[in-house]
Chains A and B, each alone.
Chain A
Amino acid sequence: MMLSALILIPLLGAVIIGLVPLKGKSPRNIAIVTAISVLAISLILGSQFDLQQPGLQFAENIPWIEWIGLNYHLGVDGLSFPLVLLNSLLTLIAIFSTSTTIARPRLYYAMLLLLSSGAAGAFLAQDLLLFFLFYELEIVPLYFLIAIWGGAKRGYAAMKFLLYTALSGILVLASFLGLVWLTEASSFDYLSLRSHTLPLNAQLLLLAPLLVGIFIKIPIFPFHTWLPDAHVEASTPISVLLAGVLLKLGTYALLRFGVGLFFDGWVYLAPWLAILASVSALYGASCAIAQKDMKKVVAYSSIAHMAYILLAATATTRLSMTAAVFQMVSHGLISAFLFLLVGMVYKKTGSRDVDVLRGLLNPEKGLPVTGGLMILGVMASSGLPGMVGFISEFLVFRGSFPIFPIPTLLCLVGTGLTAVYFLLVINKVFFGRLTEGLTQIPPVKWKEHAPAFVLLLLIIAFGIKPDWVTHWSELQAITLLTNG
C-alpha cells in the first residue's frame, strides 16, 4: 500500500484543505505535513528497494473497470523511483517557497497537492489508461495554479498550456488505444502489452502520435511555445514543479512507452530523433541568449537541456539510458534551483529584466547570497565538474557519441552555449554598480533561501557521488532495452 499512499495522502490532504474551512496558516501547515509524510514514505520506499531486482517492485494490482480493461496497477522500478522521489522533494520545496501570505491559500495548497498526487500516480501507473488518467489529472490543478496565481498574462499562458497539454494527452491516448486495438489485448496493462510485438509499420503508426504528444509535454522544438509563457506567468513554486517534475512526465513517457513499447519503431526513427534533439538543444540555447527576462532564459535553457534526454534515449545503449534518467534528475534539481533564485530576485526587486537589474552582488544593499547561489546554479547547469550537471551531461554525451556522433557534437555546442547565456545574465544582473532604483531592496532571510540550499546540497552531492542516482536505473536500463 506504500505506492497508493504516495498518491492518496496528497489527495487526502488536498481534500481536507479544500473542503474543511481552515483559517490562518492551517492550510499551509497541513500541506507541509502532507508533503513531509509523502517524502518520508518515498525515502522508506527507497530504503526497501531491491537494487538487484530489475523489474517492478511494491506492485499493487486491483481490478477497477474491467470491461474497459482498466486496472489499478501500480509499481515502481529504477526508472520511476528517482522521479517519484524528485516529485516528493520538489513538492515540499514548492510549499516552503510559497509566500505565507498567498491569496486563497486553501485552494492553492489543495491544487498543489493534487498536482503532486497526479504526478506521483503517473510515475507509478503500470496501466496505460491509468497513466493517462493521472497524466490528464495534473493538467487541471496546474492550469488553475497558473491562471489564478500567475502574472499579468496568466490567463493567456494558462489557456495555452491547457490547449497544448490537452492535445498532448489526446495524442498519447490515441496511441494507447491503437496499441490495444492492434494487439487485441484485453487490458491496458503495461507488462502484458510489452509482451506483444507489432510489425514495424504498425509501431511507427502508433509511435508517431505518441511522440508528438510527448514532445509537446517535454517540450521539444517545434512543440515548445507553451513552455516559456507558462514559466514566465507561473509563480516561483509552480515553475519549480513545472520544470522539476511535470516536464519529466514527458521524458518518463518517452522511455517507458516510446522505447519500452515500440522498440523497433524507436530504433528506426532514432537517427531522426537524434537530429531533432540537437536542433532543439541548439534552438533552446540560441533563444536563451536573446532573452531579456531571466525566467525566460531558464525556460529556454530547460528546452535545451531536456533535448539531451531525447538524445540519450535515441542511442539506446545501457549507458545512454542510465544517462537519460540521470539527466532527468539533474535537470529537475538544477532547473528548480535556478527558478527558485530567479523567483527570489523577482520577489525582492520586482523585476526579472536583465536590462534593468544591475549589481545585485553588492554585499551591503544587493542580494549577495542569491547572487552567489545563482553563480553556483549556472556552474551546475553549464556542466562544471563537481556538480550533478557535469555527470549527467558527460554520461549523455559519452553514451550517445558512439551511436550518433554529429548530433552529440551539436548538443555539445549547445552545452557550451549554456555558459554563454547564463554568464551574460550573471554579468548583467549581478555585477557592476547597483541600479539606482534598487538601493532599498529588502534583505533575504536565511530561511527564505533554505529550499535553495537543500537543492544545492543535492546538486553537489550527486555531482561527487553520482552512483547514488545511477544505481537505481542501471538495471532498469537493460530491462527497457532487452524487453525484460
Chain B
Amino acid sequence: MVGISVKRSKSLLIEQYIAKLERGEALLDDSSQNLVEVVGILKSYGVVLDAYSINLCYIANTQFLKLFPLFKYFNGQINPNKVAKFVWHDRLNYEYAEYCMKAMFWHGGGGLDTYLDTPEFAAETERLVKAYFKYNPLMLALHKAFKDFLPEQMRQMAYYSALGQFWRVMSDIFLNLSDSYDRGEIKSIPDVVKFILDGLVADATRPITYTVEVRGQEFDIIPKAAGLTFLADTAVPYVEAIFFRGTPFTGTVSYNAQAYEIPYDPGMFNYGALYADPLPIGGAGIPPTLLMQDMRHFLPDYLRQLYQHQSIRGTGDIRVQICESFQKSMFCVTTAAVKGLAPYPLDTQNSEQQAANRKYLKGWLNRILESQLVKVNSQIQTELKPV
C-alpha cells in the first residue's frame, strides 16, 4: 500500500512539474531570493569557468603526451612568485575541472565518445605519437609494447579540450547573464532560464574540434569533419555526467548495497550535482569543496550580503551556502537543457505535440524528482526587495 501511495504521489508531482514547465516556468520556484542566489552564483561561476576553460585548453594544447606535466596548472607562466602562490595554495583549484573532465570521460555518451573509438582517431593519434616521439626510441618501443596507453592519454586530452570549449561558452553565457541582471533585464527565474536557453541555442551547432601541433606540423585529433557540436556532443554528455551521474560529489555518502541502497540497474543510480547533499561540503576529501572555495573569491556583494544575513554563522558556513545556491542555479541550467532538447516548444497547443512533449518530460522528471529539487523548492524563503 505504501509503495502504491508513493508511486501516486510521485506521478502527481510529475504532473505538477509538467504543468509548471508548460506554463513557461522553471523547475526551480521563482522567488526574489532564488533569483539573487542564482544570478550571483552564476556570476562567480562564470569567472571560475573562464579560468578552468583556459587551463583545460592549455593542458589539451600543450601538455599532451607529457608523462609528468608538473606545471600544467600554470598556463605556461612559471615564475617563483606563481610557484610560491601555488605551494601556499593561493590559487584556483584547477583539479576540480579535471574531476569534471574525468567524470565525462568515464561516463561517455554523445558523439565525442563514439568518435574517440573510430579508426580515424586511432590513425591520427598514431601519427601524432610517432611525430612527438620521433627522437625518443624508448617511448616508441614502449608504445609498441603497450599500444593502448598513449591513445588513451589522447582520448583524455580530447575531453580536456572538449570540456574547455564547452565551459568557454557557458562562462560567457553566465557572465552576460549577470550583466543583464545588473542592467535590470532579468527579473525572474524564468528569465534566467530563457537567457541560458538562448545562449545554448545560439551556440548549439558550434563545432567542437581539437588540433595539436608538433614541430610546426598540425594534427587534427578531432577534425571539424567529425561533425561534433557544442550542444549534442558536449552539453548533453556534460549534463548527464555531472548533473545526474556525478563523480565530483561522490564520496559524500556511503551506499550499502546489501540494504538495497544501490539500484539493481546501475543506470538508475544518480548522484550528480543535482542530487548532492550540500552539508558535507567543506570537509576534507569532498571534491566540490574546491569549486565552492574557488567561487567564494568572486561572489558579487549582494550575494555575500545575503549569505551574511541568512545564516546564524554569517559567512562562516559560506561554502555550504554557495553549494546550495549553486545547486539552485544548476536546476535552471537543467531546465534550459530540458526545454532546449524538447521535441516541440513546451507551450505548443497542438495535442499530439503536447503528448510527445509530456512523454519526453516524464522521462526527465522521473530522474529529476529524485534529486534535491523538491527539498529546495519546499524551503521557506525570505522575500527580498528588488535589487
B260-290, CB under 8 A of A: which get 1 and which 0?
Answer: 0000000000000000010111111000000
Is B317 on the interface with A (CB-CB < 8 A)? yes
Q: Which residues of B contact A364 (CB under 8 A)?
A: 281-282, 313, 316-320
A111-140, CB under 8 A of B: which get 1 and which 0?
Answer: 000000000000000000000000000000
Distance A440 CA – B320 CA, assembled complex (angstroms) = 12
B280 adjacent to A440 (CB under 8 Å): no
Is A57 on the interface with B (CB-CB < 8 A)? no
B312 adjacent to A441 (CB under 8 Å): yes
Distance A364 CA – B312 CA, assembled complex (angstroms) = 12
B313 adjacent to A365 (CB under 8 Å): yes
- A433-B277, A443-B316 given; A363·B282 CB < 8 A: yes
Is B311 on the interface with A (CB-CB < 8 A)? yes
B313 adjacent to A443 (CB under 8 Å): yes
Nearest Cβ distance between residue B72 and chain A, in whole angstroms? 29
Of chain B, the residue at the smallest CB distance from A361 is: B283
Distance A365 CA – B313 CA, assembled complex (angstroms) = 8
Interface size for chain A: under 10, 10 to 19, 20 to 34, or 35 or more residues?
A: 10 to 19
- A364-B317, A365-B320 given; A433·B312 CB < 8 A: no
Nearest Cβ distance between residue B385 and chain A, in whole angstroms? 23
A434 adjacent to B279 (CB under 8 Å): yes
Nearest Cβ distance between residue A438 and chain B, in whole angstroms? 10
Q: Which residues of A contact B283 (CB under 8 A)?
A: 361-363
What is the total number of residues of chain B having a CB less than 8 Å from a CB of chain A? 16
Of chain B, the residue at the smallest CB distance from A442 is: B312
Q: Which of B280, B313, B318, B320 is A442 in contact with, Cβ under 8 Å?
A: B313
Q: Which residues of B contact A186 (CB under 8 A)?
A: none
Most A CB within 10 A of own CB, among B277, B311, B316, B317: B317
Is A29 on the interface with B (CB-CB < 8 A)? no
Q: Which residues of B contact A433 (CB under 8 A)?
A: 253, 277, 279-280
Of chain B, the residue at the smallest CB distance from A435 is: B279
Is A439 on the interface with B (CB-CB < 8 A)? yes
Distance A434 CA – B319 CA, assembled complex (angstroms) = 15
Of chain A, the residue at the smallest CB distance from B286 is: A363
A353-385, CB under 8 A of B: which get 1 and which 0?
Answer: 000000101111100000000000000000000
Distance A442 CA – B283 CA, assembled complex (angstroms) = 18
Q: Which residues of B contact A443 (CB under 8 A)?
A: 312-313, 316
B280 adjacent to A362 (CB under 8 Å): yes
A6-41, CB under 8 A of B: which get 1 and which 0?
Answer: 000000000000000000000000000000000000
Q: Which residues of A contact B318 (CB under 8 A)?
A: 364
Nearest Cβ distance between residue B188 and chain A, in whole angstroms? 28
B302-318, CB under 8 A of A: which get 1 and which 0?
Answer: 00000000011100111
Q: Which residues of B contact A361 (CB under 8 A)?
A: 283
Distance A135 CA – B306 CA, assembled complex (angstroms) = 57
Of chain B, the residue at the smallest CB distance from A433 is: B279
Distance A440 CA – B310 CA, assembled complex (angstroms) = 10
Q: Which residues of B contact A442 (CB under 8 A)?
A: 312-313
Distance A361 CA – B313 CA, assembled complex (angstroms) = 15
Distance A443 CA – B282 CA, assembled complex (angstroms) = 15
Distance A389 CA – B313 CA, assembled complex (angstroms) = 35
Nearest Cβ distance between residue B70 and chain A, in whole angstroms? 30
How many A-B pairs fall under 8 Å by CB?
36
Within 8 A of B (CB), among A145-197: none
Nearest Cβ distance between residue A434 and chain B, in whole angstroms? 5
Distance A25 CA – B259 CA, assembled complex (angstroms) = 57
Distance A440 CA – B316 CA, assembled complex (angstroms) = 11
Q: Which residues of B contact A363 (CB under 8 A)?
A: 282-284
Nearest Cβ distance between residue A166 and chain B, in whole angstroms? 45
Within 8 A of B (CB), among A426-482: 433-434, 439-443
Distance A361 CA – B281 CA, assembled complex (angstroms) = 12
Q: Which of B253, B279, B311 is A362 in contact with, Cβ under 8 Å?
A: B279
Distance A441 CA – B280 CA, assembled complex (angstroms) = 15
Most B CB within 10 A of own CB, among A362, A365, A434, A441: A365
Within 8 A of A (CB), among B46-87: none
Q: Which residues of B contact A365 (CB under 8 A)?
A: 279, 282, 313, 317, 320
Q: Which residues of B contact A440 (CB under 8 A)?
A: 311-312
Within 8 A of A (CB), among B303-341: 311-313, 316-320
Within 8 A of B (CB), among A399-445: 433-434, 439-443
Nearest Cβ distance between residue A228 and chain B, in whole angstroms? 32
Distance A364 CA – B288 CA, assembled complex (angstroms) = 14
Nearest Cβ distance between residue B382 and chain A, in whole angstroms? 14
Distance A363 CA – B316 CA, assembled complex (angstroms) = 10
B282 adjacent to A362 (CB under 8 Å): yes
Most A CB within 10 A of own CB, among B253, B282, B284, B319: B282
Q: Which residues of A contact B311 (CB under 8 A)?
A: 440
Distance A176 CA – B137 CA, assembled complex (angstroms) = 97
Within 8 A of A (CB), among B134-164: none
Q: Which residues of A contact B253 (CB under 8 A)?
A: 433
Q: Which residues of A contact B317 (CB under 8 A)?
A: 364-365
Nearest Cβ distance between residue A441 and chain B, in whole angstroms? 7
Distance A363 CA – B282 CA, assembled complex (angstroms) = 6
Distance A434 CA – B317 CA, assembled complex (angstroms) = 13
Nearest Cβ distance between residue A324 and chain B, in whole angstroms? 42
Nearest Cβ distance between residue B131 and chain A, in whole angstroms? 49
Nearest Cβ distance between residue A448 and chain B, in whole angstroms? 14
Distance A442 CA – B312 CA, assembled complex (angstroms) = 6
Within 8 A of A (CB), among B177-229: none
Nearest Cβ distance between residue A82 and chain B, in whole angstroms? 40
Nearest Cβ distance between residue B289 and chain A, in whole angstroms? 9
Q: Which residues of A contact B277 (CB under 8 A)?
A: 433
A439 adjacent to B313 (CB under 8 Å): no
Nearest Cβ distance between residue A437 and chain B, in whole angstroms? 12
Distance A359 CA – B311 CA, assembled complex (angstroms) = 19
Most A CB within 10 A of own CB, among B279, B280, B283, B284: B279
Of chain B, the residue at the smallest CB distance from A434 is: B279
Within 8 A of A (CB), among B331-354: none
Nearest Cβ distance between residue A348 and chain B, in whole angstroms? 10
Nearest Cβ distance between residue B23 and chain A, in whole angstroms? 32
Distance A365 CA – B283 CA, assembled complex (angstroms) = 10
Nearest Cβ distance between residue B323 and chain A, in whole angstroms? 9
Distance A326 CA – B141 CA, assembled complex (angstroms) = 70
Distance A467 CA – B253 CA, assembled complex (angstroms) = 47
Q: Which residues of B contact A434 (CB under 8 A)?
A: 279
Nearest Cβ distance between residue B120 and chain A, in whole angstroms? 48
Nearest Cβ distance between residue B126 and chain A, in whole angstroms? 48
Distance A317 CA – B233 CA, assembled complex (angstroms) = 81
Of chain A, the residue at the smallest CB distance from B318 is: A364
Distance A433 CA – B281 CA, assembled complex (angstroms) = 11
Distance A441 CA – B279 CA, assembled complex (angstroms) = 13
Of chain A, the residue at the smallest CB distance from B320 is: A364
Q: Which residues of A contact B319 (CB under 8 A)?
A: 364
Q: What 4 A-B pairs come out closest when comparing CB atoms?
A: A364-B282, A364-B317, A363-B282, A364-B320
30 interchain pairs, CB-CB under 8 A: A359-B279, A361-B283, A362-B279, A362-B280, A362-B282, A362-B283, A363-B282, A363-B283, A363-B284, A364-B281, A364-B282, A364-B313, A364-B316, A364-B318, A364-B319, A364-B320, A365-B279, A365-B313, A365-B317, A365-B320, A433-B279, A434-B279, A439-B279, A440-B311, A440-B312, A441-B312, A442-B312, A443-B312, A443-B313, A443-B316
Question: Which A residues lie at the B interface, using CB under 8 A?
Answer: 359, 361-365, 433-434, 439-443
Supplied contacts A359-B279, A442-B312, 18 more A-B pairs, CB within 8 Å: A362-B279, A362-B280, A362-B282, A363-B282, A363-B284, A364-B282, A364-B317, A364-B318, A364-B319, A364-B320, A365-B279, A365-B320, A433-B253, A433-B279, A434-B279, A439-B279, A440-B311, A443-B313
